[in-house]
Amino acid sequence: MSNIHDERTVELIEAFHKQFGQSPRYLSRGPGRVNLIGEHTDYNDGFVLPVALKRSVQIVLRPRPDRQVRIFSAEFGESGFFDLDGIAFNPEQLWLNYIQGVAQSLEQEGFGLVGIDALVSGNVPRASGLSSSAALEIASAHAFLAAAGQNHLLPGPRLAQLAQRAENQFVGVNCGIMDQFISELGRANHALLIDCRSLDYQLVSVPEEAALVIGNTRASRSLASSAYNERRSECEQGVALLQRALPGIRALRDVSSAQLEAERARLPATVYRRCRHVVSENERVLHCVAALQEGDLAAAGRLMDASHDSLRDDYQVSSAALDTMVETMREVAGCYGARLTGAGFGGCAVALVKPGSEQAMADTIFERYPKATGIWPEVYTTKAADGASVVDLGE
């Protein structure tokens, strides 16, 4: 739950008053996320284990008596406008489309919305693999529902699905469900095990002796989109070839490491390596859950290390910048394990560390990473945080 007296919220309320000449009624919040383990498993019907971040997108808003939506973006320094009866993709203001898409998705679900005046501000770094887009979608969904007096009528998992639908169908980005799910359903000091086939989920307690350090490589992710589509196609090819011997499988989620090795000869070498990553990564996620439940952070860290090595060698979605970041993290005393997080080719790496070692890791990253890459990084420290929230600020 956001503290309405914290400095950031006070500044947002003041900015809203300056922009719209009145006070906001509600504050909605959607956090970013980092995935502890389970990469490129989501579109293979597999398992993921993300946590919600303290960094979030916040929206302060006031309902309007009509169907007009007026929004000011603090980060972009510009205003956006649309009418709920005339929603249309805006090629000039891409950030506005995430909000429009959510409004459209909610109305398609049968929720009658009202217009709002809103000010949006986020401290989730964009294009970093920490899911600023899902944070914006979830914050927007709660903003619209709160304004319409319907915020408690939509179960969290369904709200996450509607936010995903907005990104898939309106914005045109073929994302999975993980980002919206964790932004909506995350809980402090817990990771969230998500079954990407059934959408069953389970909160997994993260021991007190664990903290997270996120290193943003700030390296270009220009290859991520094309490589994503290529890897997805290779996984589908692997399933089609394996089905000849394993007719009961629907996705790589259904294949064990033993089965994959037994049928290895059916697969081209590259396709085999792609499949080996996904199959072993699903197994690592479940082993990591067990390790966290047992309080065995050393084992959880080793699984994170193995995940990165597999993403680097078998799935080939790492980069020189990410490898440098991960190697730097692993050298710091107190680091249990580190891996890239997100689609790869740039963005962020995450390390599981002993509390108290965060500053030493940050100092080491700032000392070594720029010398190796010529890029100045960003470093964030966090623990698993709560998911989305709405606060009634009163009249």
Distance, CA of 218 to chain centre: 17
Do the bridges between strand 348-353 and strand 378-382 make them parallel or antiparallel, or are there none, so unpaired?
A: unpaired
Question: Exactly one of 179, 305, 314, 386 is catalytic; which is it?
Answer: 179
- Confirm if 56 and 139 have CB atoms less than 8 A apart: yes
Identify whether 254 is a catalytic site residue: no
- Confirm if 388 and 28 have CB atoms less than 8 A apart: yes
Paired residues of 204 in beta bridges: 191
Sheet holding 335-341, edge to edge: 335-341, 348-353, 211-216, 378-382
- What is the total residue count of the chain? 395
- Confirm if 40 and 186 have CB atoms less than 8 A apart: no
- Confirm if 174 and 225 have CB atoms less than 8 A apart: no
- Confirm if 105 and 163 have CB atoms less than 8 A apart: yes
Do the bridges between strand 68-73 and strand 116-122 make them parallel or antiparallel, or are there none, so unpaired?
A: parallel
User: Buried b / exposed e across 46-60, counting CB within 10 Å, b at 16+?
Assistant: bbbbbbbbbbbbbbb
DSSP 125: P
C-alpha to C-alpha distance for 381 and 93, rounded to whole angstroms: 31
Q: Which residues are catalytic?
A: 179
